[in-house]
Structures are given as C-alpha cells and as structure tokens.
Amino acid sequence: MSSDVGSPGFEARSPGDLAPQPPRGWLGGRGFARAALLAVVFVCAACGLVYELALVSLGSYLIGNTATQASIVLSVMVFAMGVGSLAAKPLQRHATIAFAVIELSLALLGGLSVMALYWAFAYLELYTPALVVVAFVLGLLIGAEIPLLMVLLQKIRRQDAGSAVADMFAVDYIGALVGGLCFPFLLLPWFGQLRGAIIVGLVNAVAGCFLVFVVFRRSLRPPVATMLGAGAAAVIVVLVAALVLSGRFEVTARQALFRDPIVAAERTPYQDIVITERQTSAGPDTRLFLNGDLQFSSIDEYRYHEALVHPAQIHPGDSVLILGGGDGLALREVLAYPDVRAATLVELDPEMISLARHDRRLRTLNRGSMSDPRATIVAADAFSWLRKSRQLYDVIIIDMPDPDESATAKLYSVEFYALAKAHLAVGGRMVVQAGSPYFAPRSFWCIVATLRAADLHTIPYHVDVPSFGDWGFVLASDSPVWPTMYQKHPPLRFLTEDVLTAATTFPKDRDKLDVPASTLMDPRILRYAQSEWSLY
C-alpha cells in the first residue's frame, strides 16, 4: 500500500499512520465507498458459489456420480483458493488494477465455464481433465479476491485487522448463502445451466467494474483506466455474444452426443431429457435418454415392459402402484388389463409427465395411458411419497433409472424396499427392474440381496432386450411367489409362460453372486453401478 502514499485523497493522521480519505467527488463520501465495496464482496461471493455449483451440477448431468463430481470440484477449488490467496500477496501494492484484472478474468471464465466444459465433453471426450483445469483456475481467481478487497477496504477506512476480517467474511458468507439459494431456485429453472452461468458472469463483471471505475476511479491513471475499460468492454461483449448464441450452441453440442437426430429435448431441475428418432426398415426408432442414459428404444421396448409388468400376475380389480416409469409405457401394460380398478404412477419430474402426455411420439407409444381415467399421476419423490401414503396396493412396479447416481441410489436401498413392502396388500407382489446381470452382475445381485434384507421373498429373472442386452428383474413378495402370468393376460408380443420359465434360469457364469445389501448409510449399489457401468 506504500505506493498509494501521497496520492490524492490520502493524508497522514498521526506519525507512522497513513489513513486513506475518500477523494473529493465520491458520491456519499467514505460511507458510500465502504458500503459499495461490501456490496461488491457480497455479489462476488454469490457469483463464486454459483460457479462451483454449476460445475457440480453439470458433472452430475453429463457424467452422473454426483458425489464424485462434487468432491473433485470442491476439493480442487478450495485448494486453488488457498494458492490464489498467497499469489495475491505481491499484487497488493497495485490492488485496484489487480482486482480489476482478476475480476474480469473470473467473470469471463466463470461465465463461459459451463459452455467450455460442455464443448469438451461433446467434442473432445476430455471432460474430467478440463473440469480439473477450470475448477483450479476459477478457485485461483476467487482466492485472490478477498486479500485484494481487504486492501481496498483499508484504503477507504483503516481499522484493526480483526474487525476488517469480520466485516469482510460476514458479507462474503451471506453472499455465498444467497448465491447457493439462487442457483437451484432461480437460475436453473429460469435460465438453465448454460445461460445461467453466462448471466452470473455478466453480473460479476458489472460488479467489478462498478467498484473499480466508480468507487476507485481516481486511483487509476488515465492510460490504465482506458486499458481496463477496453478489457471490461471486451469481456462484456464476449459474454453477451455467448448469451445470444447459447441456444444454437447447446442444440449443436447436444446433437453431437447422439447418433440419431434429436426431436425433443428438455433440461429440467432434475434431469436432461432427450428424445431421438430415426427411420429404420422396421419403422421409426424412437429413443428416450435421461442424463445421457438410454431408457428405451421403440423397436424393442415391449420386451422390457412386458417382462417388467406381467409376471406380477395382475388380476381383475387389482390396484397397482408404479414408482418411476414417467414415460407411461409400464402404465400402458398395466392398463391393458381392462379390469384393473386403479393405477397410481409416482414420477419425480413434472416435465417428464408432460412429455409423456403431450409429445406425439411418447403418446403413441404409451397409447395415451397417462390420460386414462383409471390412472392417477403424481409428481413427487417416490421415497418421500411412500413415507406419507397409507394406501395398500396389490401390485407395486418399481421402474427407476439405474442406481449410478447418489439421487437414485436411495431408491435401491433396504429402507426404500421396506417402505414399499409396507404398501403391499396381503398376497401382494412387487417387481423391480434390476439392471443387467451380464454387464453389471454385482449391481444386479446387490438388488436381489437388498430386497431379501427387507424381508421379501425374491425370484430374479432376465430376458434379452436387444437395445439393452441381457436385462434383469426381480419379483418379490412377503410370501414365496413364482413368476407366472394371469391366465387372462392381454395379447403380448414377446412374453409367454415358456419364455418366463426360461428367464428364471441363469447360466453358470452368470449365477448368483454373494454381495451385501445396500442401505442409505452404506450405498453399496452406487459403488457397484458406477464401477460396472463405467466399463460398459
């Protein structure tokens, strides 16, 4: 700070103590300058946390494995923040200029971080290395902010170190709170990840420019102010251009991830929904992807859904609960029984429900099941919904996405299956999609073990679904039960009693594995699924 001695606005208050005074012309004087600086600290903290959350969220969408993505981002960024704080020490002599450069760099990189990582994932297949680099540089810049802001705060009004740190960090933590809440409740629903990050970058740039060019404008020499102004204008122009072109970029990059043309896409607070379609000799092949994972192909989905639903022996007058299955295809199979009294479907994502009801491709495949008067559609988390509901069902069908993310692993736990069992009527049956015993054998047999740990009798079985490969299911009940079909089942394209009998037989190299059950506190299924499906 010695380089500022003698500059306009500074005078010696006592021997050995040089205290800054706000230059003439500052609006509101010293009080305004201090309040403005703390407001900028607040905004910078909010922006910094949004950058962190955006990287974690993007990784969970593109890669899955939210816990690993969060660990990589947070650990790398926190480490880099420490490095950035140390690196800022030599810059304190020119705090105003250094802060301007760092803030503009942070706004540019933070605003474009999601776009850059999406590009690396779609075109280069270098997502994780790119994530580490981006997280480190962002952390480096964020870490350099506080030391420089502390110097600028002392320029306005010198105070003891403890009080200055308390003021700075109080505002910083409050800003982080606001940024953390704005990300899921404001930015994601209104703007999405790509545009949300760019908008935050613009806010970050404007806040930095306000502090430098309004509050500390007189500490900048004209040539320096001109250069910084040009840099600020360039950053804002780039971010605005990125915002304008973000829609086109997202469509192009997303298409690069899929073999077939994308005909519908929605990014919701819960997942990335993509529908593709191409013409084949057998007709249109419509495919649904959730967070990049294939959910079905219209060419052979009937094999999967017939094997999922009909071995539960649905009888006239039965009430049926479907957990998951927001595409309406399992519900279609249930409602094919004309005497089914009622069917309830619980799906987490309202946008998935809307697509299943209104998208002509899905509506054709599910035969309008989502609008059937016998069907009750509930948008809710299945785990929470089971805890509140008191209704009993004759058949429960659990058609959840694979347990390769923290959010879905709880739906394959002893606790979840025990909750589901409590909703089974006397003699009721439960069917669970259990992944592939061929590609993910530990995951498959872990689900079987978990159902048994919930005090359910189980019969595992598997069928061939060409778009998936060998796929497994588990029939469960509170009393011994064997997979069979009600004798008055509707016409089926694939499943017969002979096929179902053969499905209960596993070859020697795919026979039962002795693996422990998965619980909320020890989600073994998550570790198995992540290791096995990553190889696949």
CA distance 441 to 515: 10
User: Of 180, 92, 109, whose CA–CA distance to 144 is shortest?
Assistant: 92
Q: Which residues in 133-170 are b (16+ Cβ under 10 Å) and which e?
A: ebbbbbbbbbbbbbbbbbbbbbbbeeeeeeebeebbee
Q: What is the chain's Cα-based Rg?
A: 29
- Supply the residues annotated as catalytic: 399
Residue with the two structure tokens 């006592």 = 14
Taking a C-beta distance cutoff of 8 angstroms, is the pair 330, 309 a contact? yes
End-to-end CA distance of the chain: 58
CA distance 145 to 515: 49
Q: Which amino acid is at 346?
A: V
Per-residue CA distances from 494 to 281, 347, 450 (Å)? 20, 27, 29
CA distance 73 to 70: 5
User: Of 289, 298, 315, 310, whose CA–CA distance to 461 is shortest?
Assistant: 310
